[in-house]
Structure 1
Amino acid sequence: MKKLYTNYVNTFKGLSKEVWWLSLITLINRAGTMVIPFLSLYLTKSLDFTLKDVGWIMTCFGLGSVVGSWLGGKLTDKIGFYKVMKISLFLTGVLFIALQFVTTFVGFCLGIFLVMLVADTFRPAMFVALSAYSKPENKTRSVTLIRLAINLGFSAGPAVGGLIITSLGYSGLFWVDGVTCILATILLVIVLNPKKAKTLDEVKNENPISIFSDKAFWVFFISMFIFGFVFLQYFSTMPLYYKDAHHLSELEIGLIMGMNGFLIFLLEMPLIKWLEESKYSKERLMFVGLLLTGISFLVLNLTGWVGVLIVGMLFMTIGEMIAFPFSNAFVMERAKRGNQGEYMAYYSIAFSAAHIFGHNSGMQMVDILGFDNTWWIITVLSLVGLFFLSVLIRVTKKEKLKV
């Protein structure tokens, strides 16, 4: 047991203190965005919006995320990741506090668009910072640590958010969200001053190639959009499947969903370290990640046994643990040939676009075709994504032969 613990701790060794600080800032920021899980409840219960209204507001949410990711990449390349992160965190805090005073439908559409636009400029800047503060051999594990922080934040946020709503109401939620973002800004200024922080891998490309001429990246972009589309079903259509098709209670649904975060926290870092040492290429590991995620939907149609829900969640969790860190590391490596902020922005946009189309399309398919047919379609879509990743494997292999 002691050896197991020692091996687990050792997987975190070698990461710079700046990466640890960046993870803590991300944890505070993500735990602070606790308004998001309760947004649909707030809009229907407190503001009396219809479900159709909520659908349009969530579309504005996704569009704000896409524009914010793009703008964040542009600004990062122009003024640097530190200024973008600082301005984004502070203004997000102010906007979250202000959003509680918006009560009209059009006003909230514009408000949530603006909040997400400002909030998601942080993402490309944070990934570029992560690249700068990580040694090349530690980048994948650094990304994994950030993912652990995000998962812990998303796990703690809703729990704390529920307590705040019970004691202070929804207005308290907006205040806490805003204040935590501002606190994260203060921590960023104290611990990540660029004059004092130790940059380990600064990339300044004097003649960057345009991202639009990087064909391999756009094959990757399409495959990541498809992966995001498939993966996000677990956060929209899957809870409905648990309740309507298998008649699980909210507690049982929460336990299955919670298993995902717990396994990631427990196993992702050792798994990534082991896979890095296995010498498989990032492209092949992404292929395995999407394959396992696709299988998680396929198994649901093979049996009516309720235990298959846990089997499906296990396949998806392992697929997620492999696909996300290695896809992120792939982009960081690829970005050295162009503008880093731009590359990280379009990586974020692939998932932001999946948010816009994935949730709504999944709901429509379930409504029209039922759960079983939807899972077959999602499985076929996974195969399409695997085709694009197989093309990516061939293209990058040819690139390496030319070098």
Structure 2
Amino acid sequence: MLNKIIESYRVSFSGLSRETWLLSLVILVNRCGYMAVPFMSMYITQSLHRSIADAGLVITLFGAGSVLGGMAGGYLTDIWGFRPVQIVCLIISGILFILFGMVTDFTALCFLIVLLSFFVEAFKPANSTAVAAYSSPENLTRSYALNRLATNIGFGFGTSVGGILAAINYSLLFWVDGIVYAMAGVLILFLLPNAKLVRSVSREDSNAKSGQSPWKDMLFVRFMVIVMLYMICFVLLFRLVPVYWKEQMHIHEATIGILLGMNGLVIALFEMVLIQNLANRRPDSYYMIAGTLFSALAFSMLVVPVVTPIILAGAAVLFFTIGEMLALPYISTFVLARASEFNRGKYSAAYSVSQSVAQIIGPAAGAYIAAHWGYNVLWIALIFLSLVCAAGFKTLFQERMGLG
């Protein structure tokens, strides 16, 4: 039995290109430095002694800059290539993080946060394009899963260290973040200097789809709308659910941290093996639909009569994590498979924009519903929204099959 488990893990991580592994190493380093953003609102209120409204403005501006950066990053990737865009965005982001920690004028901070989020988000379409370029078609979903594995491990480490640094001095967050971001850019410069693409491109395919805008691909646009709705559910699990656990279920902050950390731990341990074992068993759309249904099940745990809060909270995280592992790798695969080698950056940008818009709309709308009608109404609304996403994916892919 143990040998079978070990063999399953070995197979799951084998067959990926050297460049894919090196790129995941860069992402691991990069995400280890992603510690300032989660503590941004606390920095504004606790260190700079500004109001919660000012902190909300900064977070909103971060989202606005992310939308612009996601769009620009994709278009620049198609013009310049994914490697220079990644290097420039990481190094400039590093410089801006350090500068952000040194500036105290609020107006200047508002300008800087838009600029900072622009470059942080512009990196993502270039990185997604790089993952696809370094992967063979049959390994694309596993390559994204490895990228997500590196992201989750790095994020877990970064937020943990970030909490320690914030307790010492908030300025340390921005210095460490800036140095690590710049270091990730330098790693791409030296580790992936002239990497050969694993995929080959046929001239017919490039002529067919070169230059096509994702916004003219109506099936893809509808897909992105559904993804945005799902990402609203995703964002709210990490933004508002912890507040509900604290205020309504009276769960201690340390326990909440463990619950949220369980998400990354489960992904790190099981996602690669899950993707490997699900390969070619069912259409990718099946797993996207199943993922959104697990999201509905997760939020239903929040409206169950409270008997044992910890068990219900743990079940909510576990169900949502299963849904995330099922949905997100296949969503990423669809996005890049829909594009050609010559407009993949634009398609990646559209995906980044859908996530950024969800980060702007989700917390604001969720907080408004919770404040005016209560948390239970919010959770019921999110259950309904998750079911709408499942139905949307099903309808969309049925139509796609009908069109041949």
Q: Which residue of 2 aligns with 1:181?
A: 181
CA displacement at 1:79 relative to structure 2? 0.7
CA displacement at 1:207 relative to structure 2? 4.1
Q: Distance in 2 between matches of 1:348 and 1:322?
A: 19
1:352 pairs with 2:352: no
Query: Would the alpha carbon gap of residues 104 and 21 (structure 1) be closer, same or farther in structure 2, given more than 3 Å must change?
Result: same
CA displacement at 1:292 relative to structure 2? 0.7
Q: Which residue of 2 aligns with 1:229?
A: 232
Report if the CA contact (8 A) 2:41-2:56 is conserved: no
Q: Which residue of 2 aligns with 1:295?
A: 297
Q: Distance in 1 between matches of 2:238 and 2:364?
A: 12
1:61 pairs with 2:62: yes
The residue type paired with residue 152 of structure 2 is N
CA displacement at 1:271 relative to structure 2? 0.8
Q: Which residue of 2 aligns with 1:327?
A: 331
TM-score (norm 1): 0.95
Q: Which residue of 2 aligns with 1:190?
A: 190
CA displacement at 1:202 relative to structure 2? 4.7
Q: Distance in 2 between matches of 1:155 and 1:186?
A: 23
The residue type paired with residue 224 of structure 2 is F
Report if the CA contact (8 A) 1:237-1:366 is conserved: no
1:81 pairs with 2:85: no
Report if the CA contact (8 A) 1:290-1:386 is conserved: yes
CA displacement at 1:165 relative to structure 2? 3.3
The residue type paired with residue 74 of structure 1 is Y
- Which deviates more, 206-215 or 33-42? 206-215
CA displacement at 1:337 relative to structure 2? 8.1
Q: Which residue of 2 aligns with 1:23?
A: 24
CA displacement at 1:268 relative to structure 2? 0.6
Q: Distance in 2 between matches of 1:337 and 1:377?
A: 39
How many residue pairs align between the two structures? 396
The residue type paired with residue 285 of structure 1 is Y
SS of 1:121's partner is helix
The residue type paired with residue 363 of structure 2 is H
Deviation per CA, 1:233-264, whole angstroms, max 9, x where unpaired? Answer: 11111001111111100111112111111111
Q: Which residue of 2 aligns with 1:93?
A: 94
Q: Distance in 2 between matches of 1:341 and 1:180?
A: 25
The residue type paired with residue 82 of structure 1 is R
Q: Distance in 2 between matches of 1:154 and 1:369?
A: 33
CA displacement at 1:396 relative to structure 2? 2.0
1:41 pairs with 2:42: yes
RMSD: 1.5
Residue 265 (structure 2) aligned to one of 248, 252, 262: 262
**Any gaps of 5 or more consecutive residues in structure 1?**
none
The residue type paired with residue 256 of structure 2 is I
Q: Distance in 1 between matches of 2:286 and 2:166?
A: 45
For residues 135-154 of structure 1, what are the structure 2 equivalents within 5 Å?
A: 135-154=136-155
CA displacement at 1:135 relative to structure 2? 0.5
CA displacement at 1:162 relative to structure 2? 2.5
The residue type paired with residue 201 of structure 1 is R
SS of 2:279's partner is helix
**Any gaps of 5 or more consecutive residues in structure 2?**
none
CA displacement at 1:338 relative to structure 2? 6.5
The residue type paired with residue 276 of structure 2 is K
Give the fraction of aligned pairs with identical amino acids, expressed as a percent: 38
CA displacement at 1:72 relative to structure 2? 0.3
SS of 2:103's partner is coil
Residue 340 (structure 2) aligned to one of 323, 329, 336: 336
Q: Which residue of 1 aligns with 2:394?
A: 390
Q: Distance in 2 between matches of 1:211 and 1:180?
A: 33
CA displacement at 1:8 relative to structure 2? 1.2
Residue 304 (structure 1) aligned to one of 306, 328, 331: 306
- Which deviates more, 335-344 or 323-332? 335-344
The residue type paired with residue 186 of structure 1 is V
Q: Which residue of 2 aligns with 1:107?
A: 108
Q: Distance in 2 between matches of 1:229 and 1:251?
A: 25
Report if the CA contact (8 A) 2:32-2:157 is conserved: yes
Q: Distance in 2 between matches of 1:93 and 1:340?
A: 26
TM-score (norm 2): 0.95
Query: Would the alpha carbon gap of residues 338 and 395 (structure 1) be closer, same or farther in structure 2, given more than 3 Å must change?
Result: farther
The residue type paired with residue 295 of structure 1 is L
Q: Distance in 2 between matches of 1:348 and 1:314?
A: 25
Report if the CA contact (8 A) 1:222-1:385 is conserved: no
Deviation per CA, 1:254-284, whole angstroms, max 9, x where unpaired? Answer: 1211111111111111111111131x11222
Q: Distance in 2 between matches of 1:66 and 1:310?
A: 32
Report if the CA contact (8 A) 2:213-2:346 is conserved: no
Q: Distance in 2 between matches of 1:21 and 1:360?
A: 38
The residue type paired with residue 109 of structure 1 is C
The residue type paired with residue 249 of structure 2 is H
